[in-house]
Structure formats: C-alpha cells, structure tokens
C-alpha cells in the first residue's frame, strides 16, 4: 500500500472491471446500477485494520470507479455499497457489510460465520425484511490486488482433437491428499498436480485431459462446519476470478500456472468445472458477501411479482441473472481470465441448462451461448455442459448449440442397467454404443458431443456401483436422505465388502465390462478419477461434504495387485481406442455406408452372428449384443472392430457374421484382462464368459478387400423410448431419429 495515503481518489476509468495495477497505482471499477454510493475500504498489510475509506468519485454507465495513486499489488481492500434497503423491490443495500470485489483476482482470509455477515437480523420477527447494523469487516475475507507476470514462453496448448480426447475427472485435493511420497504441505494442492509422479500416472493411463472439480474460491458453509463436515466438492462459488486458497501450497498463484504448464508439456489438457448458475449467497435468508450487497436486483433472477424472493432453478437458493449484460460480461470476463492468466483449455459448465435460460425458459440461442460462440478466444476451447437443472423444462440433453459437448446421463443409466441385467436394455444400449445419435445427430454436431460416462464425482464410484444395492450416506448427517436413490447398481450377493470369492469375481468382471463398454463406445469417454485403482467411498454416493479419507484416493491400494491390474487394463483399453479409427468416427455411423466391401460402418448382431430382427430387438430377455464398426482413413487404411457383450449369467459363444475374410485379432477380453492378443479365424467363434465383453480388431488396406464400396439404401429410422423415469422431464426432441436402423418400434 502507499506509504502516504491521499485524501481522496482520482477519477480513474470505468474499465477494466476490478482492481488493476498499471505500475503507478491501482484503478478500481465495480458495477452497480442502483447504488447511491460505493466506498472503497483499504486495509493494512495484515488485513486487520481499515486504514482508509474512499467514496468512488465517479459513476459512468453504472460502473463506479476511482484511482489510488502509488498503490501496488498486495493491497487488501473491500467495498461498502449505499442504497435502498427495500427487499420487496429487490434491493438489499447495507453499508455496514464489507463486500468482496466480484472481480477480485485473489482472496485473503476466510469467512468467520457470525450474525454480522447477514444483512438482516437473524431471528427477527420480520426476518429478511429487518435491517442489521453490525459491521461485518471482522468476519470477512479481503480482496487483494494482483500484479506481476509469469513466463509462459514455450508453453503450447496440447490442442487435442475432440475425437482423440479421453477425460479424467478428478479433485485437486482428493487426488493427492493420501500421497505419502509427497511433502505434507504439497498434498491436496496444485503443486501435487505438477508432480512428475502424478503426470506419469496419467501418461500410463493414456488420458488426454484432466477435468478438475471447482477451483474457483468457494465458501465453507456454516451448517456443514457446525456438523464437523466441510464443503469438499466446491460448488458454492465465492469468487469467479480468484482460486481456492487451500489449493495453493505456498500461496502463490504461479503454482497453478506451473501445474498447467507441466501438464501441457506432457500433452495433457486442463478443463475446469465452473459454477456460473448460482453463488454462495443463497436465498433471501443467506449472507451478504458480495453481489447481493452491490446490486441484488441486477445480479440475481428475482420472482417477477415478488422481488423479495429468488428464482431457484438451481436448487441452491438463487440463480445468477445472465440475461443482464453486466452479469453476462462478468461471466465472460471470468472465463477469459482463466484462459489468459492460467492457460486452461476448456470448461465444464455446472447446470448448463440454467446458463441457457431466458425469461421464457431454456433457449439454445440464449445470450450466454451466443456470447461464447462468437468469442474468438473462448469458442475454440473445449466447452462441456451439464444439460439439466432443477427448473421447469430443465432436462435438455442434446439441445445445446453446436460447439458444445454434453454430459450424457442416458449413456450412464443405460450402461448401468444393461450390465445389471435389466430387461429390454439391448436396443437402448445399441444407440449409446453408436454415439447417441438420437440426441446429438442434428445441426451438424459430431459424435464427440456425447460425453459418455458411467460414474462421476456425483454418485457411486465404479467399485461401489458393483458392491452396494443402496446408498450409505449416514456420514453426511442428513439421515441418508441425500443423494440419488436410483443408482442402477447391484451388489451381486452381499452389501459392501465381502470375502466370498464368487461375488468378488463377478464384481471384478462387471467393473471391467463397464470400463470396456465406456472406452469402446463412440463419443467422448470420461473416466472418474480413482476408478482405475478400485477406489471406494463405502457406499456413499454424495460425498460433497466429506473432505476426508472417504473421498481421498488411496494410493497404497493402487499399488496392490487389484489396483495395479485394473490400471493396466484401463491403459490397454485406452491404447486400443487410440488405435481404432472406427471407434473415433468423425461422423455418426448409421449403417448406411459400406466403408469396406461387404462391411457397413455400423451393424448389430446377436451371438449367432445374425443381424437382429425386429423381434430380436423387442426380446426383453436378451442379454447379448455384438456391434461391428468400420472406418477408413484418407490413406486407405481401415479398421474393423467387433465388440461382443454378454450381460447374462452364463457363458456364450459368439459366431462371426458373414462377410469378407478379415485378419481378426482378439484384442482384449474383460474376463481375462492380462491375456495377450491372439488371432481368430473367420470361421472360429469366441467364448465370452458371463458378465464380460471382448474386442475383436482387424486392420486392413481397402485395396486388399475384394469387392466395391457401396452405399446402403437408407431405411426408415425406427425409434424407441429409453427414458426410464424421465418422461415428464425429457423434451420431445430427445426422441428424434438416429437410433440403430433395426431398433424396435416404440411400445
């Protein structure tokens, strides 16, 4: 801070937003359309004492601004906003509350939960209509002015093509907190992500991107702290520009940059899970920390006829108002900041349906999508959406605009149900294996738009999916009433850990079969970090508040034979995916084109090698499916794959379908994961044990396969409904054509 503080601020400029050092001082700019005055509060070096308070001298186009000469990076500050306290009309100004800068690049300190951080009197008869005069500065963190630079020279974004992308979803803290080979202060931080041993693990797997759960600063909710728990996942954002301080081992933001740079050097992209649908301030009874105190009526979507209350399409108390140009600007500026300052390669948008809502509902032409699509920098990144929220019409899978990929929960549910042995799952599975064209083959979107996953941070791990019939969330202190009830899981004979050899064998087979299905499906696979080492959460499917060994990766178990074997198996699957062009198609296969003479780009068969008839598709008891895909590159090199799946309780012999003689190799069998590849004659069959799958692979030159390449006449598409339990939420567009050509008619 300056040695001698001036009496007043200079006028400064209304841009850029936030606090920016220009080498001679700091310019402050903050938006508020309804405030009557904004004050800048400056604190001493330790943040304990307010040493100056300045009214921002100018408001230009609803941006309040001022300039503090001689101020430098490291300056600690906050705001106080004056204006009407009129909740009935959406205004909640209270100058007694110190406010964080929405554009703060760094935050120092934690919220000390007390009644002072609320704008109203807790327990008052008039509830949030009352007014609290206590000063909250002692309980609030400080915004910090950032400066300096980082030497990015030589950093090159991996720019992995979507068709080659394999995502590893993980948590900065959880992935390394139990790493005994790291110094204690580095565990759970970005420094651990930069460690060569972690990067080597990713390399051995063959993944191309890490998707990190929220790393923007978030709150530790008081109701969790009171129960001895903590906000682990981080979906309760306190700042859209500042990183979570706990994830820095030495307090330097360069630690993030170093991690990103080292991952880039290893060819691995970094995708951030971001939460722009709501903030940590909650509903009308929540605290006043930043946006609410600066301009509640602009930052949040309020009920049109009762502006005291918040529209809550997120289930988290409030909804950010992206229809407001300044709020949309803040989100876009935040995204660009993470790209410019930290060189991240993409974003996964939590509750992406909310971001596309206008006053009339979800719109693929919403302002947020348009802003992203036209942005020359952001539009080139990997953009992934969670296509649902809690509001009306909040299930919009397949309805995002081109350029977006979407988490495909239909893939998750179908694969789980099939391998559990549910009836009538063969036809839905066929569509999921082929890229979910029934959802995504529109507006010239590509198969990579489907983010295929079986497990994610929200739900069971893969080990728990085959070990528990029911959730076991008692540790969360909510009476086991939180988390999903419909997990489509199966314990295969015993709830939780067991010494029964037969049950353990079945569990291992089903795990490997599901992993094989995931990594050999058309679309973009996402692997939940830790599934490759057999990580369990003891049946808890909602560990959002479990910042402990229940959630942290057990790397000691990873070095055991079970974990090591599963890791090798996953790595082999990813390597095979990389080798097979037909698994990474540039367009949706529909069985209409013979990419090789006598071999269509997509075909389905039963275990006898026969094409499936309408009656076969409608056979709800069938548990076997063979899917053949083929592809040829511009040089005439072709690959043909046959994925054989047996979800039944008995071993099945699969015969090869009629067609040209191909040099088949049994590339991998989930029941025998360590068995090397072996040739398979065209007249031979393959025994596929119960609860397992196999991949057959043939690499050929097109000119070595006799016969012409022809286009198969297009058949009338036939559809089916695989939305179990989602009929009320799924949009009509979700049942568009694009299913396998010989799938059954709807019931």
> What is the C-alpha separation between 163 and 269, in angstroms, rounded?
14
Cβ partners under 8 Å of residue 741, min gap 6: 590, 591, 592, 715, 717, 718
Element at 427 (helix H, strand E): helix 426-433
- 566: nearest Cα among 502, 493, 630, 511: 511
Active site residue 386: yes
Residue 167's Cβ-count burial label (10 Å; 0-12, 13-18, 19+) is buried
Q: How far is CA 308 from CA 46, 70, 236, 284, 390, in A?
A: 37, 42, 22, 7, 20
Helices 501-519 and 409-420: crossing angle in degrees, nearest 10, is: 140
Residue 364's Cβ-count burial label (10 Å; 0-12, 13-18, 19+) is middle
548's tokens: 């402990």
Distance from chain centroid for Cα 569: 24
Catalytic-labelled residue, pool 132, 284, 350, 532: 350
> What is the C-alpha separation between 234 and 215, in angstroms, rounded?
7
> What is the C-alpha separation between 454 and 525, in angstroms, rounded?
9
Output the 3-class SS for 533-586. Answer: HCCCCCCCCCHHHCCCCCCCCCHHHHCCHHHHHHHHHHHHHHHHHHHCHHHCCC
Catalytic-labelled residue, pool 221, 386, 438, 606: 386
Residue 618's Cβ-count burial label (10 Å; 0-12, 13-18, 19+) is middle
Rg (CA), the chain: 28
Phi, psi of 692 (to 5 degrees): -150, 170
Helices 501-519 and 561-579: crossing angle in degrees, nearest 10, is: 30
For the chain, count helices (H), then strands (E). 16, 31
Q: Write down the H helix ranges in 314-366.
A: 325-342, 352-355
Using CA atoms of 415, 421, 422, 423 in order, give the dihedral in degrees to the nearest 10. 110
79's tokens: 């705001």
> What is the C-alpha separation between 655 and 677, in angstroms, rounded?
18
Phi, psi of 294 (to 5 degrees): -85, -40
677's tokens: 């590849």
DSSP 8-state class, residue 99: B
Q: Write down the H helix ranges in 580-692.
A: 614-618
> What is the C-alpha separation between 386 and 364, in angstroms, rounded?
14
Cβ neighbours, 10 Å, residue 637: 13
> What is the C-alpha separation between 447 and 432, in angstroms, rounded?
11
Q: Which residue in this structure is represented by tokens 């503090």?
A: 68
Q: For 519, how many CA atoms within 13 A lie in the half-sphere containing its CB? A: 32
Using CA atoms of 733, 738, 740, 741 in order, give the dihedral in degrees to the nearest 10. 120
Contact 591, 740 (CB under 8 A): yes
In 3-state terms, what secondary structure has residue 91? strand
- 452: nearest Cα among 511, 521, 403, 513: 521
Active site residue 350: yes
**Residues belonging to the active site:** 350, 386
């Amino acid at each position: 801070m300056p040695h001698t503080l001036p009496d007043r601020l200079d006028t400064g400029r209304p841009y850029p937003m936030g606090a920016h050092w220009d080498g001679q001082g700091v310019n402050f700019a903050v938006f508020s359309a309804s405030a009557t005055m904004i004050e800048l509060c400056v604190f001493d070096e330790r943040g304990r004492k307010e040493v100056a308070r300045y009214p921002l001298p100018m408001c230009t186009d609803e941006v309040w601004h001022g300039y503090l000469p001689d101020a430098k990076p490291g300056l600690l500050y906050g705001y106080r906003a004056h204006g009407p306290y009129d909740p009935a009309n959406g205004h909640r100004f209270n100058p007694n509350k110190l406010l964080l800068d929405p554009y703060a690049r760094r935050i120092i300190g934690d919220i000390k939960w007390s009644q002072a951080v609320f704008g109203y009197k807790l327990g008052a008869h008039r509830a949030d209509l009352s007014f609290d005069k206590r000063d909250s500065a002692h309980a609030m963190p400080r915004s910090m002015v950032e400066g300096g630079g980082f030497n990015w020279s030589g950093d090159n974004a991996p720019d992995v093509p979507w068709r080659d992308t394999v995502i590893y979803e993980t948590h900065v803290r959880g992935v390394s907190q139990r790493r005994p080979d790291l110094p204690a202060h580095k565990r759970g931080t970005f420094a651990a992500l930069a460690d060569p041993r972690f990067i080597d693990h990713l390399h051995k797997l063959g993944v191309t991107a890490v998707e990190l759960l929220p790393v923007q600063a978030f709150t530790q909710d008081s109701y969790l702290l009171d129960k001895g728990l903590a906000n682990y996942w981080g979906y309760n954002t306190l700042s859209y520009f500042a990183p979570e301080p706990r994830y820095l081992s030495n307090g330097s933001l360069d630690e993030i940059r170093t991690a990103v740079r080292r991952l880039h050097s290893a060819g691995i992209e970094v995708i951030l899970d971001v939460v722009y649908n709501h903030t940590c301030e909650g509903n009308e009874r929540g605290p006043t920390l930043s946006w609410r105190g600066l301009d509640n009526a602009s930052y949040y979507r309020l009920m049109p006829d009762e502006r005291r209350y918040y529209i809550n399409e997120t289930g988290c108390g409030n909804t950010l108002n992206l229809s407001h140009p300044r709020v949309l600007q803040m989100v876009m500026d935040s995204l660009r900041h993470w790209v410019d300052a930290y060189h991240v390669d993409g974003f996964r948008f939590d509750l992406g349906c909310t971001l596309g809502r206008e006053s009339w509902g979800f719109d693929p032409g919403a302002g947020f999508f348009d802003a992203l699509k036209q942005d020359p920098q952001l539009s080139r990144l990997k953009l992934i959406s969670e296509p649902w929220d809690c509001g009306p019409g909040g299930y919009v899978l397949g309805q995002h605009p081109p350029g977006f990929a979407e988490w495909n929960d239909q893939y998750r549910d179908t694969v789980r149900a099939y391998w559990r042995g549910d009836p009538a799952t063969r036809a839905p599975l066929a569509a999921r294996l082929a890229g979910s064209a029934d959802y995504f083959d529109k507006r010239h979107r590509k198969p990579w738009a489907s983010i295929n996953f079986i497990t994610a941070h929200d739900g069971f791990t893969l080990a728990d999916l085959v070990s528990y019939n029911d959730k076991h969330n008692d540790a969360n202190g909510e009476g086991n009433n939180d988390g999903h009830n419909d997990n489509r899981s199966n314990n295969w004979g015993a709830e939780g850990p067991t010494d029964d050899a037969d049950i353990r064998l079945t569990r291992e087979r089903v795990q490997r079969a599901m992993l094989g299905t995931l990594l050999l499906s058309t679309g973009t696979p996402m692997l939940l970090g830790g599934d490759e080492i057999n990580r369990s959460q003891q049946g808890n499917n909602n560990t959002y508040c479990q910042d402990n060994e229940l959630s942290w990766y057990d790397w000691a178990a990873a070095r055991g034979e079970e974990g090591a074997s599963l890791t090798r198996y996953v790595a082999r699957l990813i390597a095979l995916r990389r080798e097979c062009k037909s698994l990474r198609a540039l367009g949706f296969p529909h069985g209409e084109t013979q990419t090789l003479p006598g071999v269509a780009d997509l075909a389905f068969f039963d275990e006898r090698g026969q094409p499936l008839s309408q009656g076969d598709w409608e056979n709800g008891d069938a548990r076997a499916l063979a899917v053949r895909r083929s592809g040829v590159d511009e040089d005439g090199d072709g690959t043909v794959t046959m994925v054989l799946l047996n979800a039944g309780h008995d071993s099945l012999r699969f015969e090869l379908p009629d067609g040209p003689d191909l040099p088949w190799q049994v590339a991998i069998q989930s029941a025998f994961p360590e068995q090397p590849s072996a040739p398979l004659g065209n007249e031979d069959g393959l025994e596929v044990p119960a609860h397992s799958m196999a991949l057959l692979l043939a690499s050929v030159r097109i000119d070595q396969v006799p016969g012409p390449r022809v286009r198969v006449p297009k058949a009338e598409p036939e559809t089916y409904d695989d939305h179990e339990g989602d009929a009320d939420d799924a949009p009509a567009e979700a049942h568009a054509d694009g299913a396998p050509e010989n799938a059954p008619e709807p019931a």
